[in-house]
Structure 1
Amino acid sequence: MQSIRVTQPAELLATVPYILGFHPSDSLVLIGIRDKRLHFAVRAELAECRTHPQSSARHLAAVLVRQEVDGAVVIGYGTPEHVNEVTAAMRRAALDHGIPVVDVLRVTNGRFFSVDCPDADCCPPEGREFRPDTSFIAAEATLAGHVALPDRATLTRSIGAAEDPDGELSRATDRAESRLIAILEQIGGHEDLVVTSTQLLMTALDTHRRGQFLNEDDATWLSMVTLVTEVRDVACQLIETRPEKPHIALW
């Protein structure tokens, strides 16, 4: 996504769906900040984090450390009963790993709440209503060709075939998501991901140029990694500089 200036929580929250590719719900989202810029984002299922809040938080904090961020925003999507324990554990884990937490936000029923803001005029106890689809962030992202699908299930259905009667597509998506997190946990993982994903893009185009197709795991993985800004930028550059037909077949 092109550079967009974000100065308020509502603007940051409006950006998240375009980073992830869908509007999150029942989720824990971490935004990693480096040099006052959004550097990294990762999402986890809230239900999994609730089951093991401390270990999940330590795991995600380690991911932030390996991405060499100098700050983080913790965002919980769900009811207070489901979110508060998870975001509190995440804050403690981030601080234990030496990562300052800029803000902790909760999104519930179309309203957002800031845990850290003491100003009732700025962050009233009843929260603030926000509609990410009607924000200037959404307008700029849409103009640039980015899409935020309604939810993760829609994203899953959009990857590959429209029908998934045996659930293999859902399992492939889960494998790709786990693989992505595992790579990003490693030191230098983000940079390695961009390099290997660029190679996969080239291979995929060559495959489709020959009239062949990627297998389900490779196709799902390619769809997953193009959520990473640098990989998506490479894909756009290739569309502009390579013959059109393989791109149509691939995407």
Structure 2
Amino acid sequence: MTKQLEPRDPSGPSTDPQITLRSPAELADALPYMVGFHPTDSLVMVAVHGEGGRFGGRLRVGIPASPAEWEDTARQAAECLIRGSERRAGKPDGIVVFLCQDPRDGETGQRVMTRLRPLAQRLRLACGTLDVPVLEALCISAGRYWSYCCPDPRCCPAEGNALALPGTSVMAAAATFAGLQVRGSLKDIESRLLPLRGAAAEEQERALDRAAVALVPRILGGATKEEVGAETLTLARSLMERLTLAPPPEGGPCADDRDDALLGHDEAATLILGLQDREVRDIAAEWMEDEEAAPALRLWRALARRCVGAYTEHAAAPLTLAGWVSWSTGDEPTARIALALALRADADYRFAQLLHHACNEGMDPEGLRHCLREERRRREPARNRPAAGRPPGRATRTARRGTRRTTGSGQ
């Protein structure tokens, strides 16, 4: 099997270097470079086009824990990838499937492969029903891979084959040359965006309660939404400046711990509630490039981690902003993960829905960047005035709910 991995948009013309893959081993090694991270607990499907086997659209979803959901998942995933490919680059000539899952307690990688075989079969049937064959289906677990399509034990033994060590293969060297980057594992990326736990989470939830209670009398007492919005944006800019003046260690949990230490619980609570207003959020979305992008992304990640307890739904706003900045700065894999988490927090969050669809469709974010720049230019003469907006929405509801919760707890 020969497949070409193109490092950027597979649906349009490309002069980028191409990487040729000829075996299940090379496909397994290429997977992190195709999606931008090491997928864990994931079903990944890749469309293949033309005689040369050009890779096209990709789809990643979590593997349902219940086998009863596998048939629906297989059908929906096949339809989504094939129909989406038809809109962008024509109907695929084939599909490559990857099932990636770490062993459970007491399991081996081989046992994972056996357990997931019915899911692989359902995927092959679902794709075949739409007249697109599955060219290869691989299970990746515990540092090894297995082929569900190859019956030859000489190349695909029952115990599986070991994956190449990270960074040691020809694929890794070629991908680096082509500009492809792997950003850790799915769990690593998600961990930077998920809510805090333990004592810090409890303290943050109390701060959110206090901030919510304080918001009600301000609104009922005549404080306008515009004033609250202007204060929110001023606080956000102040925190971005604080982050800029304290660059974190390079990447990973240490960087996030440093950022968390720079934000007070009450500051984070005030900003989280303020971002529930769509007008404020839209203005914050303008900080998506140049020197503003990095501190903005750090701030949105930190705020997403502070949406704890009864306030987890509020994470949709900072997660969407984190996804937007990531996409705007070229980190599409992280953008997709952040936007998916935003929709997990609030499935009806329209801004996240639109960005998630646009990112997955391979659209260029420059169109939205241009619109936001124009909005900022029009508002620039009035930057010192309160931000205009609509009547209070979720922020007001949050404050009222916070009043009830705090009163009921006796605080």
Aligned to 1:122: 155
Match of 1:31 in 2: 46
Structure 1 residue 203 displacement after superposition: 4.3
What letter corresponds to residue 113 of structure 1 in structure 2?
W
Pick from 321, 336, 341: which aligns with 1:174? 341
- For 2:393, the equivalent position in structure 1 comes to none
Whether the aligned pair in 1 keeps the contact of 2:113 and 2:146 (CA below 8 Å) is no
The 1:182/1:200 distance shift into structure 2, 3 A limit, reads closer
Alignment of 1:1-251 (within 5 A): 1=7, 2=16, 3-35=18-50, 36-47=53-64, 50=67, 52-66=69-83, 67=85, 68-78=91-101, 79-80=112-113, 82-131=115-164, 133=166, 134-156=168-190, 160-161=297-298, 162-163=301-302, 164-166=305-307, 168=315, 169=319, 172-175=339-342, 179=353, 183=357, 193-195=361-363, 197-203=365-371
Relative to structure 1, the CA distance from residue 144 to residue 14 in structure 2 (aligned partners, 3 Å threshold; closer, same or farther) is same
Q: Tell me, which stretches of 5 or more residues in structure 1 are unaligned?
A: 213-251
Cα distance change, pair 119–33 in 1 and its aligned pair in 2 (3 A): same
2:30 is paired with a residue whose SS is: helix
Structure 1 or 2: larger strand share? Answer: 1
Provide the rounded CA distance (Å) in 2 between the counterparts of 1:149 and 1:195: 21
Deviations, residues 17-41 of structure 1 (Å, cap 9, x unaligned): 1221210111111111011111111
Q: RMSD of the TM alignment (CA)?
A: 3.4
Shift of 1:95: 0.8
Question: What SS class does the counterpart of residue 98 from structure 1 fall into?
Answer: coil
Instruction: Tell me the equivalent position of 2:197.
Output: none
Cα distance in 1 for residues equivalent to 2:153 and 2:370: 53
Larger Rg: 2
Aligned to 2:47, the other structure's residue is in SS state: strand
CA contact (8 A) 1:156 1:173 kept: no
TM-score normalised by L of structure 1: 0.69
Q: Do the aligned residues in 2 keep the contact of 1:74 with 1:104 (CA within 8 Å)?
A: yes
Q: Does the C-alpha gap of structure 1 residues 171 and 12 become closer, same or farther in structure 2, counting only changes over 3 Å?
A: closer
More displaced, 194-203 or 139-148?
194-203
Amino acid at match of 1:197: P
Q: Is the 8 Å Cα contact of residues 127 and 133 (structure 2) preserved in structure 1? A: yes
Q: Distance in 2 between matches of 1:127 and 1:22?
A: 22
Deviation at 1:7, TM superposition (A): 0.9
**Measured at CA, do residues 102 and 151 of structure 1 come closer, stay the same or move farther in structure 2, by a change above 3 Å?**
same
Q: Evaluate the alpha carbon distance shift between residue 195 and residue 129 of structure 1 in structure 2; reply closer, same or farther with a 3 A threshold.
A: closer
Worse-superposed segment, 61-70 or 164-173? 164-173
Letter of the 1:29 partner, please give it.
V
Change (3 A) 1:204 1:82: farther
User: Deviation digits for residues 168-195 of structure 1, max 9, x if unmatched?
Assistant: 23874424698489848xxxx97xx344
Matching residue's letter, 2:188: T
Which structure has more relative contact order (CA 8 Å, sep 6+)? It is: 1
Q: TM-score, normalised by structure 2?
A: 0.44
Gap regions ≥5 residues in structure 2: 1-6, 8-15, 86-90, 102-111, 194-296, 320-336, 348-352, 384-411
Percent of residue pairs identical:
27
C-alpha spacing 1:182/1:98, structure 2 compared with 1 (3 Å): farther
Count residues in correspondence.
206
> Per-residue displacement from partner, 1:56-86 (whole Å, max 9, x unpaired)?
1111111232112110111111223552222
User: 2:340, 2:356 within 8 Å by CA — same for their partners in 1?
Assistant: no
SS at match of 1:5: strand
In structure 2, the CA distance between the partners of 1:80 and 1:71, relative to structure 1 (3 Å rule), is same
User: Offset at 1:87?
Assistant: 1.4
